[in-house]
Structure 1
């Protein structure tokens, strides 16, 4: 009987030690990449008003939320401007892998949309460069924590390119894209902070 108990104890201890942990390996490389990503997102937020002023000249298109109208929302649909992937609080149903994958997909989305719009007007090149660098840091986060790459729909920017039929369409599309990018960046910062808090909780459970 005693031998059986000892054998069972050894079995369960081995099973626990060999089972993959549910907490990802959030290494110093991951933390550094996440911090650099957050710093870059903060810079993008500061640069959006300047980019908007340089590229959007049509009357009535301002970054003031009070100036938004139902007509602009209709333009979102008619121009086919997609919404950014939703970033949720981390949980067992929305994992770190989900979160970082959506960070990457949203950043790629806006880099692609700004790429289309920058062919029509000036003032967006710095934002595109910053989004490219942001993607680099997010990719480093994924690699450091051994996360999946996620799936990105590359057709979004092509759809927009086919629907821009005049200067006003370009102006509205730029305004809407920058407005949505600003909102996405606020979500990014909250999510990057949540990642840091999640790291501390994961470390405390080991």
Structure 2
């Protein structure tokens, strides 16, 4: 849940197993650029949201101890995010984009559930708006890529067991930890589709 698989650095040229002509079009690349910008914005916003909402001193975004809270994540009811990886014969462009949409919807739902219990809400509200904006961009790419009709992901209908203030703190911490890892994987996926990717990958 909290240990995303390592990715190699984006290569100079990206062999695309499918839809390579579509990915290279100016329209797709423009949406891709907007999506990458939003992803970077979200990664920065996660840092601010964590600082404003999490007041347990030992809860750190990039702590190696976060995996020890996995059992609490399960008892609270926080599902794992959909897996993202580089394009391959078994992980197509359509699959990648659908997993992105599903993961964004999941984290919007998770944040919406914990939001009423937070003392400071502003950063999380802004974060959910950014997640929604990114979903719109990913949906645009999926509509270009997928010939059949594409519908917006529906709310997950999940519920969280937030019995007390400590569980609320655990929940928002772990949601942001998982969202950060998911957005970092999204950033790598999007970079792998760029025709002229940056030479260096930003760190968050």
Q: TM-score range by the shorter chain?
A: 0.7 to 0.9
State the Cα distance separating 1:152 from its structure 2 match.
5.1
Q: Is the 8 A contact 2:36 2:190 kept in 1?
A: yes
Unaligned runs of 5+ in 1: 1-21, 198-206
Distance 1:33 1:178 in 2: 25
Report the equivalent of 2:6: none
Q: CA 1:105/1:38 → structure 2, altered by over 3 Å: closer, same or farther?
A: same
> Which of residues 82, 90, 112 in structure 2 aligns to 1:85?
82
Q: TM-score, normalised by structure 1?
A: 0.76
1:94-135 superposed Cα distances (whole Å, 9 cap, x missing partner): 110000110111111111111111121113111101001000
Distance 2:127 2:164 in 1: 23
- RMSD of the TM alignment (CA)? 2.4
Distance 2:188 2:108 in 1: 20
Aligned length: 174
Q: TM-score, normalised by structure 2?
A: 0.77
Distance 1:34 1:69 in 2: 32
Report the equivalent of 1:23: 19
Report the equivalent of 1:48: 46
The structure where helix makes up a greater share of residues is 1
Unaligned runs of 5+ in 2: 1-17, 196-204
State which structure, 1 or 2, has the greater radius of gyration over its C-alpha atoms: 1
Report the equivalent of 1:16: none
